[in-house]
Amino acid sequence: MNKSIGVCLIGAGRAGMIHAMNFAGKTPGAHMAAVVDIDVQAAKDAAARLEIDKFYTDYKHVLDDGAVNAVVIVSPTNLHKQIVIDCANAKKHVFCEKPMAMDVAECDAMIAACEENGVKLQIGFMRRHDESFQEAKRLLDEGAVGELVQIHSCTRGPSKPRPWMYDLKKSNGILAEVNSHDIDSVRWFSGSEYKSLYAIGGNYRNREVAAQYPDYYDSVLMNGVMRSGVQFSIDGAAYIQYGYDSRVELVGSKGTIHVGRSNRDFTTCATVENGISSAFIRSWTDLFRDAYLREDIGFISSIQSDTPPLVTGRDGRMAVEAVYAGNESIATGKIVHLNDD
């Protein structure tokens, strides 16, 4: 048997702790070795919850820590590049959350560092690990709906954006924060790269920041064509409030596949006042809980078996490129043609 992989979480927020709890008890061949957060109390609390002793406020301490074999990076996006490169140089395997980085140049540097050091680089597009998505991909690849023609993918998040997200220089907008999953799904299902796209954005739900952040958009539509000729359509929204609303449709030449669910649980109630009603799924943490676990298991398995991860640095990079192109289209009001790479 392989020795157990010691994992260090860098960034102990909500998404980070989902991964950490997975590695702590549910992922064969792994254990939590340490946790890092710049907020000392957050780091301490996370360690306590994970039932481990070791916590840091500076990720640099991890670089020399022999008990750490792999890092899970869930820090703000603008810090990803440096952390990944440092960890790669320290021979730590890297799981980096999406969006991978602020621009393509950063992505390329991160990929190069990991390749040079012979460490894995997995990006957090967990939908590829989701059972429903995998079933859809299997049906598609088997030809159940003929040849792929169109992909429609939508993601709408419930929560008020955190203040830093209004600044597109920091967040790259909801195309990065919300829709990079859709952007990756379109690539994954089509097996092709973005050729051209057109996007429009607008601020409808957060108008109180419109004066200060005129570029901010909370609603976006983007359509275009992949190099293979497949058409795609993505829509996104932030602060929809009623729940986490995400679905994909794959239109084939002789059938259509639909992926998604909306119900929080499987209870419906019929009354005079409300008709038939059920609760909406609250959050991506509910919808993709199992996908996160499978993703984490996949990361460890990729290390243990020395095989490529299901979602690579290149996948992260290509999504960043499409986010850039989408933001450029919104800003200029023009169609963007992506360069061959």
Q: Which residues bind a second copy (CB under 8 A)?
A: 24-26, 131-133, 135-136, 139, 144-145, 147, 149-150, 152, 154, 156, 198, 200, 202, 204-205, 219, 221-225, 229, 231-233, 235, 237, 240-243, 245, 251, 253-272, 274-280, 333-335
| Residue listed under structure tokens 């008020």 | 160
CB of 101 to a second copy, least distance (A): 28
How far apart CA 155 and CA 149 sit, in angstroms, is 20
Which residue's CB is nearer to a second copy, number 76 or number 191?
Answer: 191
Residue 194: how many other CB atoms lie within 10 Å: 24
Name the residue nearer to a second copy (CB basis): 32 or 168.
32
Stretch (H or E) spanning 140: helix 131-141
Q: How far is the CB of 151 from a second copy (least distance, A)?
A: 10
CB of 172 to a second copy, least distance (A): 20
Q: Which helix (H) or strand (E) is 330 found in, with range?
A: helix 313-332
DSSP H or E run through 122: strand 121-123
Residue 45 CB, nearest distance to a second copy (Å)?
Answer: 14
DSSP 3-state assignment of 263? strand
Angle formed by the axes of helices 289-304 and 14-21, to 10°? Answer: 60
CB nearer to a second copy: pick between 89 and 150: 150
**Which residue's CB is nearer to a second copy, number 114 or number 186?**
186
Bridge-based pairing state of the strands 148-156 and 245-252 = antiparallel
Q: Name the minimum Å distance from CB 197 to a second copy.
A: 10
Contact (Cβ atoms closer than 8 angstroms) between residue 180 and residue 311: no
Instruction: Give the end-to-end CA distance of the chain in Å, rounded to a whole number.
Output: 41
Encoded tokens for 135 = 């079933």
Q: Taking the mean position of all CA atoms in its chain, how far away is CA 162?
A: 17
CA distance 173 to 167: 8
We find the least distance from the C-beta atom of residue 210 to a second copy, in angstroms, to be 12
Give the shortest CB-53-to-a second copy separation in angstroms. Answer: 14
| SS3 assignment, position 279 | coil
- Closer residue to a second copy in complex, CB, 286/341: 286
Using the minimum distance from each CB to a second copy, give the nearer residue, 158 or 316: 158
Nearer to a second copy, 64 or 265 (CB): 265
